[in-house]
Structure 1
């Protein structure tokens, strides 16, 4: 489907403007503690960013930090900190600048590919533009301005689906591998890829080269487990470190914790105890999780591609199956089919209201994050 080039140009310009405006907003809202030296970039260096920088500078065996923090850094797969190391050393940049640059470039690439994916799904020009804009102002999209792996993960996931649509299965396998080596929840791509391969087999078009789409990422995960076995003595040590961390993520039934938190949130609202601290650690979790699931269920009535549905549901069920997980809203940002669903909402004024609501929450969360507060 041929689209006017100027549409994509202005859309990408809007995405860049949104990301740049967040830096201005963060600087404006930042309230520096007395005696500290921060600049407009360093205020985006918080929380998991420290772990990525430690791995990039010292590897998985850092010196001079507490044992619990050493255990914490070992849960992070190697791709994003590896890119951080290469860019920092190759270009002579600080880890902060390198990390933010990687995140931004990956996010710009994700926005471009998301537009192309919407195009391949048969969206109208308006729907494709709405998809990307809602993706760009999603309340937790500010992590693409920070030293977090969200940008690289999203680029890998969206790249996987674009490659599958264009029947470039080797490329799809590489992209899915990158997703897994960025965040282990990238394994939720494997059922989606398998569905695509089964569809080709039923059409009598499956070739050996097509199988690389699932073989390569499967071997990537095997390689990651081998790395864990070699470095830490156990192929599943990344999972063990989750259990050893201050906020253990222990397996349970999918959606069990969001359901419990939804009930607790309801009671806290009745009692007037849903303050900001509670909402940021717990209260927003069920809102984002069930808001995402509800949108996906509505979208299924439009009969989207089954592989997109499989990825979305597997991903949500995977991240919702952990206990004491304070990051559900951030994880929801990587449910790529969610934005395809939002892009198809009618009438347009509903999308406008969604965009305004998303934008207001985005600015609210940025204010908390740049000032060092917990923001998922």
Structure 2
């Protein structure tokens, strides 16, 4: 019980801090011209209290699309996976919501995201404690919250739900409760494309942990596969293409390849060319730098995780989750994709260099403040 209280206090402290960048941003930075469609006002008007500078940014960018799906179902938003808006929409309607983007949809979605994160921290602590002392589990939670893109966990995004489901998959796998673990994996594959990365990780856990009656226990691993196939069928029925959710990523015009695989070294070369040919005075140059550094950071942490003998299933899961988006020809969105990978924070915690940990904490904290501030003013971050 004391553990839960301590983690809850950590969460509330972090959550309170996140309001400060909103306030500073409102004083220093006008909302980006031409990006008005990225905020909820564009869709629903400046209704109070959502019009508050401390509230409306939580639905910026993808948030408005999740609210749209929650209230109106799928229209042209196929690139967003369905589980988070389904949950938010169902609960909102139970609470009497009348139309998409109204206060009930907004607050329900926002509360759900934050609740998912809080529970994620509880589960993360418990999962790390299976292998390491309390201090390691505690600092793993802290380093997760300090990550520059961690504010997406508190936004109307699917990141916190994805994090929670991935943690629950591993937690119950460690307890050899394979049916429960695969039930959560079935939910995970409906949350983001990289949710499929949990399948090989769980299979590895199963092979290395459970050596009796494998055939009888292995049937539950069909669950996430069948659910994902069902989602492909849903895409085929609605848009005539089972991979429509994948091809719709091309609508963003962010350089993401949907028709072919682009090896990440090629993508790295593309980014080096951006740094050389584009002026640093352009905002997008700095976002490209954040994306590039996020990839280097993630790759380094996977290597450190391997050197520190972190469970191989965790490493396998993280590596696949990084390589899939990194093999699309762009690192766009990568800071968010990295944020959900809890093994990376465990790798940081296990490092012996206190100075590097301090550097991570300071730099990440500053970047968290700056990125959230510009995100709240209509500037794309991830």
Under TM normalisation by the shorter chain, which class is it? 0.7 to 0.9
Contact 2:81–2:192 under 8 Å retained in 1: yes
1:39-50 → structure 2 map (5 Å cutoff): 39=52, 40-50=54-64
Contact 2:280–2:286 under 8 Å retained in 1: no
Match 1:126 to one of 110, 135, 139: 135
Equivalent residue, structure 1, for 2:26: 30
Is 1:194 matched with 2:190? Answer: no
Equivalent residue, structure 2, for 1:98: 108
Contact 1:185–1:315 under 8 Å retained in 2: yes
Distance across 2 between alignment mates of 1:352 and 1:9: 25
Query: What SS does the corresponding residue of 2:156 show, helix, strand or coil?
Result: coil
1:83-105 CA-partner distances (Å, limit 9, x unpaired): 12012212245222122111100
For residue 16 of structure 1, report the CA deviation from its aligned partner.
1.9
Distance across 1 between alignment mates of 2:272 and 2:251: 28
TM-score under structure 1 normalisation?
0.88
Contact 2:262–2:329 under 8 Å retained in 1: no
- Do the aligned partners of residues 277 and 322 (structure 1) sit closer, same or farther apart at CA in structure 2, a change above 3 Å counting? same
Contact 1:139–1:362 under 8 Å retained in 2: yes
Query: What SS does the corresponding residue of 1:10 show, helix, strand or coil?
Result: helix
Q: Which runs of 5+ in 2 are unaligned?
A: 97-102
Equivalent residue, structure 1, for 2:294: 288
Equivalent residue, structure 2, for 1:300: 306
For residue 149 of structure 1, report the CA deviation from its aligned partner.
0.5
Equivalent residue, structure 1, for 2:100: none
For residue 280 of structure 1, report the CA deviation from its aligned partner.
4.5
Distance across 2 between alignment mates of 1:182 and 1:280: 29
Distance across 2 between alignment mates of 1:49 and 1:220: 25
TM-score under structure 2 normalisation?
0.87
Contact 2:113–2:161 under 8 Å retained in 1: yes
For residue 281 of structure 1, report the CA deviation from its aligned partner.
3.8
Match 2:17 to one of 15, 18, 21: 21
Distance across 2 between alignment mates of 1:199 and 1:372: 47
Is 1:204 matched with 2:212? Answer: yes
Contact 1:227–1:235 under 8 Å retained in 2: yes
Distance across 2 between alignment mates of 1:291 and 1:257: 18
Contact 2:170–2:181 under 8 Å retained in 1: yes
- Do the aligned partners of residues 27 and 98 (structure 1) sit closer, same or farther apart at CA in structure 2, a change above 3 Å counting? farther
Distance across 2 between alignment mates of 1:137 and 1:47: 22
- Do the aligned partners of residues 8 and 349 (structure 1) sit closer, same or farther apart at CA in structure 2, a change above 3 Å counting? farther
Distance across 2 between alignment mates of 1:310 and 1:333: 16
- Do the aligned partners of residues 323 and 300 (structure 1) sit closer, same or farther apart at CA in structure 2, a change above 3 Å counting? same
Distance across 2 between alignment mates of 1:129 and 1:275: 39
Equivalent residue, structure 2, for 1:67: none
Equivalent residue, structure 2, for 1:76: 80
For residue 256 of structure 1, report the CA deviation from its aligned partner.
3.5
For residue 116 of structure 1, report the CA deviation from its aligned partner.
0.9
Distance across 2 between alignment mates of 1:133 and 1:8: 14
For residue 319 of structure 1, report the CA deviation from its aligned partner.
1.1
For residue 205 of structure 1, report the CA deviation from its aligned partner.
5.1
Distance across 2 between alignment mates of 1:179 and 1:276: 37
Distance across 2 between alignment mates of 1:359 and 1:91: 36
Contact 1:257–1:320 under 8 Å retained in 2: no
1:145-191 CA-partner distances (Å, limit 9, x unpaired): 21111010111111111111111111111111111101011111111
For residue 207 of structure 1, report the CA deviation from its aligned partner.
5.1
Equivalent residue, structure 2, for 1:220: 227
Is 1:362 matched with 2:371? Answer: no
Q: Which moved more, 1:255-264 or 1:97-106?
A: 255-264
Match 2:276 to one of 267, 271, 289: 267
Corresponding pairs, count: 356
Query: What SS does the corresponding residue of 2:189 show, helix, strand or coil?
Result: helix
Cα-Cα RMSD: 2.3
Equivalent residue, structure 1, for 2:6: 10
Match 2:168 to one of 137, 154, 159: 159
Contact 1:261–1:285 under 8 Å retained in 2: no
